[in-house]
Structure 1
Amino acid sequence: MSDNKLVYSTETGRIKDTPPSEQIPETDGIVRIRRETKGRKGKGATCISGLGLPEKELKELAKALKKRSGTGGSVKDYVIEMQGDQRELAKAFLEQKGFTVKLAGG
């Protein structure tokens, strides 16, 4: 079965696949920092959401945060996840960068 996808046109030449544009989730301008243990075998993790940044900038910010705290972490679905309870450190760091920050959850 053929895909019927246009790959060449006599008018314009080779047609390149354009990747879909990055869809950054809508935010209300407030960065929320929460501590989660669910699905982590009781180990705590700090989750930072609502930054409203593209993936590349989010990874750079996560790298700086992890370096500052001395812990590991990752970026998943536009949420920065850091190992351990790093809420106060992350709040101070993000406020220094100019973000409006709220500590969410208990």
Structure 2
Amino acid sequence: MSADKHTRKIPTDGGRDLTQNVFASLSGLENLKPTPASTPAPQASPSATPAKATAPAKNRGRVDVIREKAGRGGKTVTVARGFTGIGLPEKEALAKKMRAACGTGGTVKDGCIEIQGDKRDEVARILAKAGFRPVFAGG
């Protein structure tokens, strides 16, 4: 280590770098034509349908949708289990959508999404929209 490395100071007064025009070094800007901000985006022909709106992006695997009562004090709970390839943040986002759609509470426990009440149809609809293949299992 040299003594110069420890004695050099970095200027903090702003210097002349802050007063320079940052766009001065760009070339070719004079050839660009400004576009009005209110120009509408080009629309596709009515016969063209977006592929993403007609079908889910991909099959993300089977998810079992189960109605459980055992060990819950007689309360019915809808459980979605068997997720493969998704992490906790995505499960929490799915649980949030399910809680909002069902109007009930719910949580993510042990890799499963639990929604209060018998809400199998709503849960299956949300899972299908997310690209999963919901399967009703159990009673």
Aligned to 1:40: 72
Aligned to 1:51: 83
Q: Please give the residue correspondences for 1:85-100 in structure 2 after superposition, counting only pairs within 5 Å.
A: 85-100=118-133
Which runs of no fewer than 5 residues in structure 1 stay unpaired? Answer: 1-27
- Residue 82 of structure 1 aligns to a residue whose secondary structure is strand
- Residue 93 of structure 1 aligns to a residue whose secondary structure is helix
Q: CA deviation at 1:93?
A: 1.5
- Residue 75 of structure 1 aligns to a residue whose secondary structure is strand
Q: CA deviation at 1:29?
A: 2.3
* Identity between Structure 1 and Structure 2 (%): 42
Aligned to 2:106: 73
Q: Between Structure 1 and Structure 2, which shows a larger proportion of helix residues? A: 2
State the structure with more CA Rg: 2
Aligned to 2:61: 29
Verify: 1:62 aligned to 2:95, yes or no: yes
For 1:55 and 1:94, how far apart are their aligned partners in 2? Answer: 15
Structure 1 counterpart of 2:137, one-letter code: A
Pairs aligned (count): 79
Structure 1's consecutive aligned runs of 4 or more residues displaced over 6 angstroms after TM superposition are none
